[in-house]
Structures are given as structure tokens and as C-alpha cells.
Amino acid sequence: MEILHVENYTEKRFQTAIALGNFDGVHIGHQRLIKKMVDIANDRGLNSSVLLFENHTKSLIEGAGPLLISSTEQKNGLIKSLGVETIYTIKFDEKLMKLTPEEFIDEILVKRLNVKAIVVGYDYRFGYKASGNSDLLRELGRKYNIQVEILPPVLINEMVVSSTRIRDLIKDGNLEDAKILLNRNFSIQGKVVSGKNIGKKLGFPTANIEPIANYIMPRIGVYSTETIVDGNKYLSATSIGYNPTFGDGSIKIESHIIDFNEEIYNKKIELIFIEFIRDEIKFDSVDSLIEQIKKDVSYVKTKRQNCLQM
């Protein structure tokens, strides 16, 4: 898969089918939409592609975009796994924002990207002040001889699958339901940074993780997780919180990687959230904290063993 910036590029090599949307998280609704676009591309001999804004539309309109489910790297990898051949990226700036719906179709999709088929979701909006809707897109498709496919919402438990809903589930620590909507476990990527070595002194060294993107974070507490280091996956127990026992006022993400003792400072790792275990607790003594950590680690190991035996 190739990634091309649209600003100074015109696609002259082939005609394209394109999926449009923000695709944060690339959840099961996004997956269905992108797979539909790939099927159309294959049937018609078009190049399968996705157009992504390099910054969220709300970052310009409202001053800040939503907290993210996936980093750019994660999003690109997920899109690639669905069979997409090209990701086109474009900065959402004031000039682009002020294009009318027809100008967006004509100047960006037709003249720049040589689009012959478009696939979007039922709620897709485009053009200045989001004035373009599915009806207008169909009308413009007929005018420019572009096949337009508008997919209905994907429902789980009679509720529409959306990035907003998934963010709420993650924020609440409901990782099991988030996994269903994402079709995978929620994960974050981050750099291992130095900490106060409190975990090491307690006998449970932790990797202190600095996220590489402005992720939505699960609720404060302790989680059963998996940590990917150099392509290898390890069981881990992870705390998101303030270390109240030691009076630390800043929020931290600390992962104790079980049966692992390598030096990984400054490495980029991925933390996969499996299950919420418990709330953060302020312990009366260090010994009480150590006993609870032992229980947390034992729980993670036992749960994994039970899963392997199923």
C-alpha cells in the first residue's frame, strides 16, 4: 500500500474507487464500508483507495478534534489489512473547508484523484459547513458519471456503531463491548519513558508509557493487558492512575510486563487492553500494595490460562 499527499499531486496512473470518512478506530462499520469499496474496485478494474484528512475536521472548525481511538500509524495499518492499495491524505485547512460540495467533488475527487466510484456511510457530510449530504452526493455522482454507494448504519444491540459510542465505552472501561464494535481489542502505542522506579523497588518493574497520539483513555484503574515489544507479545498488568499511595498528582500509564526483564527505555511499544480488573486504591501500607499487585498479576495469568484451555 502507498500513501500519497494530495496537495501537489494529480492521479494520472489509473482511475480510482474511493472510501470517504474520518475512520477513527476503523471499527466494524468502517470495515464494511472499505470492503465494499475494495469489492467495487476489483469488479471495475479501479484502484482501491481511501482519502484521509491529516487533521480532524473539528480541529479547525471547533479548535480541537476528538480524542482518538487509533493513531495515524494504527489507522493506516488497519486500512491496509482490508486490501486498500492507496491512501491519499490531505490537510483540512481553511481553503478546503470553504469548498462547496460540488467544488470538493470536482476539484479534489475528479480532477486530482480521477475518482470513478465513491463509497460513504449514511451520515456522510461534505463541503462548506457540511452542506452536502447523501442526496446531493448521488446527484453529483450522476452529473460527473461517478458510481455512488451509500451504506446504511451497522447496528449492534439495536444501536448504531460509531466512533463516539466506542469512545464512551473505552472511557467507561467497558473494553469487552468496545472490542465487539472494533472487531479487535483497543490498544495504544507509546514510548517507554523513565519514571520514579517505584514498581521496581516493590519487585514489580513497570514500563512508563507516553502515548504517541491524543488517545481516549480508559477509566482510572488496573487492567489486564498485553504489551507488544519488538514484535513480541507479553502478558501484562497495567495501571492508569495517580499512584495515590505515594501521593503522585499526575496521571500515569504503567505496565508491568510479566516474566520480562529487558531494558526498553525509549522504545515504542503497543499496549493492548483486555479487561478492567479493579479501581485504583490508596493503600495504608506498601505491604498492602505489594499483596494487591501480586493478586492482580495472578489474576492476569490465571485468566489467560483459562482462555487457553477453552
156-210, pLDDT tens digit by residue? Answer: 988 899 999 999 999 999 999 999 999 999 999 999 997 665 555 555 678 899 9
Residue 139 β-bridge partners: none
Q: How does DSSP assign 190-251, residue by residue? A: EEEE----HHHHHT---EEEEESS-B--PPSEEEEEEEEETTEEEEEEEEEE--GGGT--S-
Superfamily of domain 2-152: HUPs (3.40.50.620)
- The CA-atom distances, in angstroms, between 16 and each of 12, 38, 41, 171, 197 are 10, 10, 7, 38, 53
Which residue did the predictor score with more confidence, 259 or 117? 117
Closest CA to 174 of 275, 310, 264, 295: 275
52-73, pLDDT tens digit by residue? Answer: 998 766 655 566 678 999 999 9
Cell of 234: 507479553
Residue given cell 490531505 in the structure block: 90
240-271, pLDDT tens digit by residue? Answer: 987 655 455 567 899 999 988 888 989 999 99
Q: Could you tell me the residue ranges of all domains in the chain?
A: 2-152, 186-309
Quick one: what percent of the chain has pLDDT higher than 90? 69
CATH of 186-309, one of 3.40.50.1980, 3.40.50.2000, 2.40.50.140, 2.40.30.30: 2.40.30.30
Contacts of 61 (CB under 8 A, 6+ apart): 97
Kindly report the pTM of this predicted structure: 0.90
282 three-class SS: coil
